[in-house]
Amino acid sequence: MQVYLDNNATTMTDPLVVEAMQPFFSEIYGNPNSLHKYGTASHPALSRAIDQVYNALNASDNDDIVFTSCATESNNWVLKSVFTDYIVNGEKDHIITSEVEHPSILSTCQWLEEEGVKVTYLPVNEQGVVDANIVSSFITEKTALVSIMWASNETGMINPIKEIGEICKEKGVLFHSDAVQAVGKIPVNLKDVHVDFISFSAHKFHGPKGVGALYIKDSQPLTPLFHGGEQMGGRRSGTLNVPYIVGMGKAIELATSDIQSTMAKIRSKRDHLEDELLKLSDTFTIGDRTNRTPNTILISIKGVEGEGMLWDLNNGQIGASTGSACASEDLEANTVMMAVGADNELAHTGIRLSLSRFTTDEEVEYTINHFKKAVERLRAISSSFAKQQPTKGGEVTEAELH
Ligand code: 7TS
């Protein structure tokens, strides 16, 4: 059996999405900006995809949704353009974000600091959530933008986006939310919350990699990141990636059309998995389940290094993560666990399991069994376990090493 439990890193493209994209590679391949029939042939599918995205998010016709190459691009665009429009060419000098944002926000903010911008990195509480009142207390008349993720990729914890949006609206400050882990997992209703910008990415909800979007409320001005042939109303030049945009439309429709029942099914599998893993001694998970994306578990297993656990799970054909795959090449402690107050040892023991609508009951059972055995194996060889063993004294012999 093979079990993929790293759906917060990326998801399998739904075969129905691949099918919808297929005609737009070698059959309907004209440039949508061309005036001949080869170009215009893609227009009905593009319009449909745009409708699918607007409907899924309940966006208004006055809003803009601009397709990008990924959420990293959307995040860079909004931060760099707010910098240009409101800081370089305006009176502002300050941006507020949180300590636990994705690197596409944090690294961009670090670059902005080098350019002279003041950036406040808000802490999260022990639940891994940003407190709306803290956001309010840091806003000044110099604040250009608040950027707080909708849900965390590491913990799945959901921030109080409605409250933060209301605070930003009242104080006249722009509000951006990185909604990559929210769109397609939980309802995102843009008529219900006040956000100026959201970023999202198709490959997190069973669409293809390489296509994302930036939502811009009321089509407000924002200096483009790419200048060129004036595609997308001049907001993002470059020939439209027709098959991928069609794929994103299909994927968001599939992910959101019956989201309550899809969520309930994923949640019940996740809760069962979590309940079973928590039966192991000295384990804990981060964050209240009722305020978490229904597919995510971040679990800490005392005495078991995350990297070792990942290796053991991988040997059992289970794909998980010690945190964000984007950052997993360095073996540093999980920064999100540090932020929620876990001590250094625990912060090295975090394993993220993220399910999808394709995860089966059999896969969950297999994972529970393998996980429990892996913890036993790894605890048996861990240094903290060794410390509890009676010491024989003297040097370890060659035979004992094998
Ligand atoms: N924002 C969040 C919250 C994310 O989780 C990711 C990807 C991105 C932005 C970047 O999206 P992309 O479209 O540019 O790929 N997150 C992860 C993760 O948690 N593990 O691997 C990638």
Contacts (Cβ under 8 Å, ≥6 apart) of 203: 10, 11, 13, 70, 209, 210, 211
Q: Does residue 107 register a pLDDT over 60?
A: yes
Q: Whose CA is nearest to atom 7 of ligand 1?
A: 9
Task: Give the pLDDT of residue 386.
Answer: 55
The mean pLDDT value of the chain amounts to 92
Q: Which residues form ligand 1's pocket by a CB distance below 6 Å?
A: 8-9, 70-72, 102, 104, 149, 153, 178, 180-181, 201, 212, 324-326
Q: How far is CA 12 from the centre of its chain?
A: 15
Structure pTM? 0.93
End-to-end CA, the chain? 30
Confidence at 335, pLDDT banded by 50, 70, 90: confident
Query: Nearest-CA neighbor of 270 among 285, 256, 250?
Result: 285
Confidence at 342, pLDDT banded by 50, 70, 90: confident
Task: Give the pLDDT of residue 358.
Answer: 98
Q: Does residue 382 register a pLDDT over 60?
A: yes
Q: Whose CA is nearest to atom 16 of ligand 1?
A: 9
**Ligand 1: centre distance to CA 71 (Å):** 7
Q: Does residue 340 register a pLDDT over 80?
A: no
- Of 150, 176, 201, the one to substitute when testing ligand 1's pocket (max ligand atoms within 8 A of C-beta) is 201
Confidence at 339, pLDDT banded by 50, 70, 90: confident
3-class secondary structure, 316: coil
